[in-house]
Amino acid sequence: MAEHNSALGLATAPIHVTRGMDIAKSAPVQPVTLIRPHAAQRAAQYFVRNFPGRSMYAVKANPSPELIQTLWEAGITHYDVASIGEVRMVARTIPQATMCFMHPVKAEEAIAEAYHTHGVRTFSLDTMEELDKILRATNNAKDLTLCVRLRVSSDLSRLSLASKFGAHPHESKQLLFAARQAADALGICFHVGSQAMSPEAYGNAMELVRQAIVEASVTVDVVDVGGGFPSSYPGMEPPALESYFETIYRAFESLPISYSAELWAEPGRALCAEYSSLIVRVEKRRGDELYINDGAYGALFDAAHIGWRFPVRLLRETPSDVRDMEFSFYGPTCDDLDHMAGPFELPGDVQAGDYIEIGMLGAYGSAMRTAFNGFGSDETVIVDDEPMASLYLSDEDRRIPSNVVTL
């Protein structure tokens, strides 16, 4: 039914079908990844049109070259890369792309290759040691954009990014001043954490940016608000993205910065979460536990290790009329850790041999896969239906069946 292709790089384009049910009817033995380029395109176009600055895709969320190409065609021209592997992959996929190396701790060899071979000119840092490393690796280049990362709170986000990186307030003055002396353009960046559930996460962080600028008395050319823009999941329905953009822009306009300063963002999850889902088969039922053929070492890493809940639906030609109940999942490996607590709501008569679609796996699902215990599948199919949740569909779009073409 579908060509077998790597989830991280499709050698040839998969076939098109309409929806997951079409795949389930073919009774695949292995999990099947469904991708929706139209959903990623819509998300990218939304950010390009509505974010009041430059949007650069955070490649770590899903490093599929096919996705990178889709985002490029939708208007995303800048890419947040975190390793030399990501630098090389984006350079191969989109040679014209602008890359920003936003990991605050980098190998000196990676900095040198990024700068001298791949034309990367933007680097982040959060210590004087990293600044010295960047300058050595680039031979004291005079065309650098250096972004000092500040430590900010992740209290309003579902996943914290507050403890590993970022200069403390007592460190930022010296670091900003030194970076200003070395940089062609000076930036300040931060990350509020993944899946920020309130726009105030950005408002609060921007106040720390203000304080850092005033304390250091430097001219800032770039303010990068990082990632954290949310998607919709069961129990995690965020406010409209417009409210995030409004909060950020209002705070940006009030900063003591140059009139020509640029506003940047690094959306990852928000651009790719709706891009893909996964079809799995139930191999066994034990009470309210379902044994499925993908799990913690596959696309469901987040469901297992941080308790992330993803939308699910039973794929049957004749829909079940049995009331939903809450299930947990076990993956296919021999490990007890291969367990997804959920709860995942499905009809109470689900049984071995049934197929389930698990949605909103475009962010981090494919990126975290392994082949542990010999399990896994690269079978990938393009589908035309809509994702199981969306922040980008209008009410009118939701009323139109996704397999109906309107004229």
**195 and 157 in contact (C-beta within 8 Å)?**
yes
Can you tell me the distance from the alpha carbon of 140 to that of 148, in angstroms, rounded to the nearest whole number?
A: 17
List, in order, residues 6 or more apart from 97 with CB less than 8 Å away: 68, 72, 77, 78, 79, 90, 91
Give the three-class secondary structure for 401: coil
- Is 334 a catalytic site residue? yes
Can you tell me the distance from the alpha carbon of 35 to that of 50, in angstroms, rounded to the nearest whole number?
A: 24
Six-digit token string for 160: 């914290």
Task: Name the catalytic one among 100, 189, 272, 334.
Answer: 334
The dihedrals phi and psi of 101, each to the nearest 5 degrees, come to -90, 95
List, in order, residues 6 or more apart from 228 with CB less than 8 Å away: 157, 161, 191, 192, 193, 194, 195, 196, 201, 202
What DSSP string describes 83-104? SHHHHHHHHHH-TT-EEEE--S
| Burial profile 352-384: b = 16 or more Cβ within 10 angstroms, e = fewer | eebbbbbbbbbbbbbbbbeebeebbbbbbbbbe
Residue reference for tokens 């098109």: 16
Q: Number of helices and strands (H, E) in the chain? A: 12, 19
The half-sphere exposure of 393 on its side-chain side, counting CA atoms within 13 A, is: 19
Strand pairing category for 380-383 and 32-35: parallel
Single out the residue of 183, 184, 176, 117 nearest to residue 149, CA to CA.
Answer: 176
The residue ranges of DSSP E strands in 12-90, in sequence order, are 16-17, 32-35, 54-58, 78-81
Residues annotated as part of the active site: 334
